[in-house]
Amino acid sequence: MSGEYGEIGALLGQDRKGYSLPQKLYVGEQAFAFDTQVMLPSVWLYACTVAHIKKPGDWFLFEMADNSVIVLRGRDGAVRAFFNSCQHRGARICEAQRGSSPKLICPYHQWTYNLDGSLLGARNMGPEFDKSTINLTPVAVENIGGLIFICLTDTPPPIDRVKADIAAQIAVYDLEHCKIAVQDDLIEDANWKLVMENNRECYHCDANHPELISCLGNSGFGKGLPEDGNAEASAEAHLLAKRGEWAALGIDHDLVEFPDGWWHRIARLPLVDGAVSQTMDGKVASTKLIGPFETPETSSLSIWTQPNSWHHFCCDHVVTFSLTPLAADKTLLRTSWLVHEDAIEGVDYDPANLSAVWRATNGQDGYLAALNHRGIRTDGYRQGPYAPEEKLVENFKEFYVAQSRAALDGVAT
Ligand code: FES
Ligand code: FE
């Protein structure tokens, strides 16, 4: 085994079913290096939506630790991804977080690349130089109904089931015809796994998320589905009644919950009575509805993927969350609110109103994740037991442990 990650195997060996991870997997520097250099590059990561790169030439950076990836829209409309490293002497090509350009030009010596990654021009390289042999290093990329996933290894794991299930459910939201209305980049003072774990349970919601509860009720994310077996009777009856409405609209489906070891969960959830969107007042945030919806409807479709994203689709807007580790105790949570491309700011939607529920919720979750991180750093930390409604936390933890073990084996061989 590589000495660089010598303690990771032993720490993974301390994993206990039904309990949180050992301290150093959350707060240790070696675990951070392992996660960002070995484990996370071995799996599919959510990067952005097609609305972030709407036109040919639009590009968007996905950055994690040392890695930087240019996700771009080609002239043919296809989504492509390349490492952000010039094939001359390696300089970063794109510096801003996003941009648009008909070609990619390296700032150092101006080598110029087509949007398909091929080298278009390189000055004064001599007669022997064959530019046709040079391309930007590609990164595996999948466009799943408008959600873009990348994988940094040459041998990405399977994605076909995730692709089929998610694409089928979100097609009605037609992300190609949405635009980014608001983007928040929030840096949380917590390890990325704690930010993920916090997202995977609503055990904390009643006491901490008044805005979220006001539109979702308290039977949402980690609990309250009949399949979970821990729903309150009233919530279950409410859901079953709603499913009849959704069937009439052609948007009903069974819960998809990390099937057969796959890494996605899809659930359509009822909003509180009278609400049609995840907003403070329950009313639409954008009067220009998206997809096929002609009148507001009363649910939101939610998607969670391991290991770094979650998304909510309403009839008037979509909100997507991507998470990337920045340091052992720093995590970037990027939240993007999408509306119909024809919606006009100040006329059809107010950005502050559109983003209010999740901006408040993100702030509350950032506080909780930081509390969690700081508490884990004390000598009093012990691996703690999950509540039944934290089963999706356990699911995330199991994914992390299994992928880490596999990735560690890859380092050792
Ligand atoms: Fe990019 Fe020289 S490093 S042109
Ligand atoms: Fe929360």
pLDDT in tens, 365-388: 999 999 999 999 999 999 999 999
Cα(80) to centroid of ligand 2, in Å?
33
Beta-ladder partners of 68: 63
* Distance in angstroms (rounded) separating the CA atoms of residues 58 and 52: 8
Which residue's CA is the closest to the ligand 1 atom numbered 3?
89
What confidence tens digit (pLDDT) does each residue in 23-33 have? 999 999 999 99
CB 188 within 8 A of CB 374: no
What confidence tens digit (pLDDT) does each residue in 293-337 have? 999 999 999 999 999 999 999 999 999 999 999 999 999 999 999
Higher pLDDT, 179 or 252: 179
Mutation test residue for ligand 1: of 70, 105, 106, 136, the one with most atoms within 8 Å of CB: 106
Give the residue-averaged pLDDT of 59-67. 96
Which amino acid, 351?
A: P
What confidence tens digit (pLDDT) does each residue in 237-274 have? 777 888 888 888 889 888 999 999 899 999 998 898 88
* DSSP notation for 28-46: -HHHHHHIIIIIGGGS-EE
Give the residue-averaged pLDDT of 189-205. 96
Check residue 76 and give its pLDDT: 97
Tell whether the model's pLDDT for residue 164 goes beyond 90: yes
Which amino acid, 127?
A: P
Which residue's CA is the closest to the ligand 1 atom numbered 2?
109
Could you identify the residue written with the tokens 């691996």?
383
In ligand 1, which atom is closest to the CA atom of 111?
4
* Distance in angstroms (rounded) separating the CA atoms of residues 315 and 294: 9
Check residue 413 and give its pLDDT: 59
Check residue 1 and give its pLDDT: 45
Q: What angle do CA 102, 106, 111 make, to 5 degrees?
A: 85
Check residue 197 and give its pLDDT: 98
Residues with a CB atom less than 6 Å from ligand 1: 86, 88-91, 106, 108-109, 111
Q: Where residue 129 falls among pLDDT bands split at 50, 70, 90?
A: very high
Which residue's CA is the closest to the ligand 1 atom numbered 4?
109
What confidence tens digit (pLDDT) does each residue in 8-23 have? 999 999 999 999 999 9
- Sign, CA torsion 373/375/378/384: negative
Tell whether the model's pLDDT for residue 228 goes beyond 60: no
CB 344 within 8 A of CB 180: no
Mutation test residue for ligand 1: of 68, 70, 85, 108, the one with most atoms within 8 Å of CB: 108
Cα(77) to centroid of ligand 1, in Å?
27
